[in-house]
């Protein structure tokens, strides 16, 4: 054999091996970079308690570092079905996006939501492609929590020509982390909501009312608006408890809560402040409208044969802070009681 030919073949083989090693090294470096970036994304998602922010982190991770040019998040609701809510398209900017999804029989989205084997990755040419404008290949990742499906991540427009295992696996890892984070955020939001509600009547509690009152004072000062602080006290509530027991007293408190809700507007804040005392915040009302609304509250209570004394204070006429308004409303309430109860007075 000609030594030159042998050496040339050996050199070519070595050269090919070096090219292969360089390609493997480059891929390993890229995967290491992606893994490091994904770990940061995982941490950001896991540490977030706000639903919208979790979705934003999820979409940004699909765009960078994973390299998809478009990513959409679909919310899943048992009553309203599934619809796109947020998207990234060509940049890291997360935009709201309201579009119902096509869940036709045999579609890729429906298959992914059902967890069917092989579902979740496809090409623009697929009959089950979720969009008519699929960019190259796509990947779908359902988010599943303790109570069922929470959402669906869709991503496409990757620079690679065909589906790559690494990016597909990374999307599924992202949706797994996001599922846990969203589950936790929903539990946290529910516990926060419960902490702001009176368990007996379902109304806002004192903490929630105080926070809303302070916020409304600041908004009214800024926008030069008026509002009214209303205090309601059940007349002779001790006699109700003595005659009908605490269960009967609780039933009366619930009736009063229902009457106050019926007599107030949707934008008003109704709260059980303490014991047999209720407060209502009438927002954006002048003195004339305030009188009409308080009279309506009193009439609703009397219509239900519920005897209550009401005191009202106007902002800013009777006070410009929470404590002063409460004191003014309290004085008006006791003026009502002194006048024979079961009515209302203004400070």
Residue with tokens 């005659």: 243
Name which of 76, 24, 23, 37 is nearest 167 in CA terms. 37
Which pLDDT score, from 0 to 100, does residue 7 have?
61
pLDDT in tens, 27-50: 667 777 777 878 889 999 999 989
267-292 residue pLDDT tens: 999 999 988 999 999 999 999 999 99
Dist CA 338 CA 51 (whole Å): 51
Per-residue pLDDT, 272 = 95
**Which fold is adopted by the domain 3-193?**
Beta-Lactamase (3.30.450)
Q: Report strand pairing: 148-156 vs 137-145.
A: antiparallel
Question: pLDDT tens digit string along 116-150?
Answer: 777 789 998 887 888 888 999 999 999 998 878 88
Phi-psi domain of 209 (left: phi exceeds 0; alpha: psi -120 through 50; beta: other): alpha
pLDDT of 6 > 90? The answer is no
The ranges of the chain annotated as CATH 3.30.450.40 are 3-193
Q: Does the domain at residues 206-346 carry the CATH identifier 3.40.109.10?
A: no
Location of each CATH 3.30.70.270 domain in the chain: 206-346
């Amino acid at each position: 054999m000609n030594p030159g030919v042998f050496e040339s073949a050996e050199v070519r083989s070595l050269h090919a091996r070096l090219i292969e090693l360089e390609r493997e090294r480059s891929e390993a470096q890229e995967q290491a970079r992606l893994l490091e970036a994904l770990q940061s994304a995982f941490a950001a998602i896991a540490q977030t308690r706000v639903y919208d922010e979790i979705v934003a982190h999820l979409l940004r991770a699909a765009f960078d570092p994973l390299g998809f040019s478009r990513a959409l998040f679909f919310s899943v609701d048992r009553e309203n079905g599934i619809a796109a809510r947020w998207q990234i398209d060509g940049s890291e900017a997360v935009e709201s996006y309201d579009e119902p999804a096509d869940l036709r029989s045999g579609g890729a989205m429906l298959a992914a939501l059902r967890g069917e084997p092989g579902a979740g990755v496809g090409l623009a040419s697929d009959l089950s492609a979720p969009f008519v404008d699929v960019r190259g290949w796509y990947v779908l990742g359902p988010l599943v929590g303790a109570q069922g499906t929470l959402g669906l991540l869709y991503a496409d427009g990757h620079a690679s020509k065909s589906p790559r295992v690494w990016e597909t696996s990374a999307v599924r890892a992202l949706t797994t982390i996001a599922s846990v984070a969203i589950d936790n955020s929903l539990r946290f939001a529910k516990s926060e909501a419960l902490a702001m509600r009176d368990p007996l009547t379902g109304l806002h509690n004192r903490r929630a009312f105080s926070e809303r009152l302070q916020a409304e004072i600041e908004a009214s000062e800024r926008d030069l608006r008026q509002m009214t602080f209303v205090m309601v006290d059940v007349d002779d509530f001790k006699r109700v408890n003595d005659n009908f027991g605490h269960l009967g007293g609780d039933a009366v408190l619930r009736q009063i809560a229902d009457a106050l809700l019926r007599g107030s507007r949707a934008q008003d804040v109704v709260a059980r402040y303490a014991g047999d005392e209720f407060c209502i915040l009438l927002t954006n009302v002048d003195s004339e409208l305030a009188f009409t609304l308080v009279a309506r509250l009193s009439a609703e209570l009397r219509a239900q044969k519920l005897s209550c004394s009401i005191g009202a204070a106007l902002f800013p006429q009777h006070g410009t802070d929470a404590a002063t308004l409460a004191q003014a409303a309290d004085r008006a309430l006791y003026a009502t009681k002194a006048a024979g109860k079961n009515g209302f007075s203004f400070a």
